[in-house]
A and B are shown apart, each in its own frame.
Chain A
Amino acid sequence: MSFREKIHWIALVGLLSAFGWYFLNYPWEIANSPKGMYTAVWMLLPVTIIFLVPMVAGAAFFAIRSPKDADLKEDEREKGIHLRGTHLAYYPLAIGVQLNIFVLINGFNYGYAVTILIATLVIAELIRVGSQLYYYRRGY
């Protein structure tokens, strides 16, 4: 397994852990209020920590363990994998933004808007990282 694939696995676990915690613990009863919006924004702090700490620790661990792999430049196959993953992630991102416009027009504001934007980003990232891992496993 290449260094970049390992980093992708860590990112996938980090995304699921951090945003899994966020969506399970968000106080939905106050979502449509200014307090709901501030809570959503405040909760991004622990989410960032939960996501970044294993990413940095994992990247450092694998870089120390196999520095040659970590120094390798992205080759044509990996570039293709990354482009395909990013392309697939565009669709949920576009749909999520349109959904957010729809809910804003219909009176769901504050925490709902922030949370839907976060969910849009998370789903797009999960599709990007997940599809890239699929292509890594399949060969291309």
Chain B
Amino acid sequence: MPNSFAWGRSYIIIGVATDPMAQTPFTNDIRMLRFLAGEMTQGDLGDKVGVTRQTIAAIEQGKYSPSLEVAFRIAHVFGKPLEEVFQWQQD
């Protein structure tokens, strides 16, 4: 597992866990996947998916739960199945 993967995953989990505001019950690897996709910006991903940069930022930080369509679109941009981008955390 490359370092960037571990760093990306742990960053997101910490980010989600420390924010007391609205949180999604899942984590995601969007930040790491953007990094691996040639340091794609949030704005570039937003353009490809059809949402604003702020919405991508909110999804990455676990503050906004995207619709199934947007989740699939994000996974499609990275060429990954949905469960490799979003992981359910809350039991």
User: Hey, which bits of chain A sit against chain B, CB under 8 A?
Assistant: 1-2, 5, 72, 75-78, 136, 138-140
Interface string of B24-61 (1 = CB under 8 A from A): 00000000000000000000000000111111001001
Cα(A139)–Cα(B52), bound, Å: 12
The closest CB in chain B to the CB of A74 belongs to B52
The closest CB in chain A to the CB of B60 belongs to A139
Cα(A132)–Cα(B85), bound, Å: 29
Chain B nearest CB from A11 CB (Å) reads 18
A76, A77, A138: the one contacting B21 at CB < 8 Å is A138
User: Hey, which bits of chain B sit against chain A, CB under 8 A?
Assistant: 21-22, 50-55, 58, 61, 63-67, 70
B21, B51, B61: the one contacting A75 at CB < 8 Å is B51
Cα(A77)–Cα(B55), bound, Å: 7
Q: A138-B22, A139-B21, A139-B22 are in contact. Are A75 and B55 (CB under 8 A)?
A: yes
Judge whether A139 and B67 touch: CB under 8 Å.
no
Cα(A139)–Cα(B63), bound, Å: 5
Chain B nearest CB from A134 CB (Å) reads 10
A1, A5, A139: the one contacting B64 at CB < 8 Å is A139
Judge whether B51 and A77 touch: CB under 8 Å.
yes
Judge whether A72 and B52 touch: CB under 8 Å.
yes
Cα(A140)–Cα(B52), bound, Å: 13
Judge whether B52 and A2 touch: CB under 8 Å.
yes
Cα(A136)–Cα(B21), bound, Å: 13
Cα(A5)–Cα(B58), bound, Å: 14
Chain A nearest CB from B6 CB (Å) reads 25
Residues of A within 8 A of B22 (CB): 138-140
The closest CB in chain A to the CB of B46 belongs to A75
Judge whether B66 and A139 touch: CB under 8 Å.
no
Residues of B within 8 A of A138 (CB): 21-22, 63
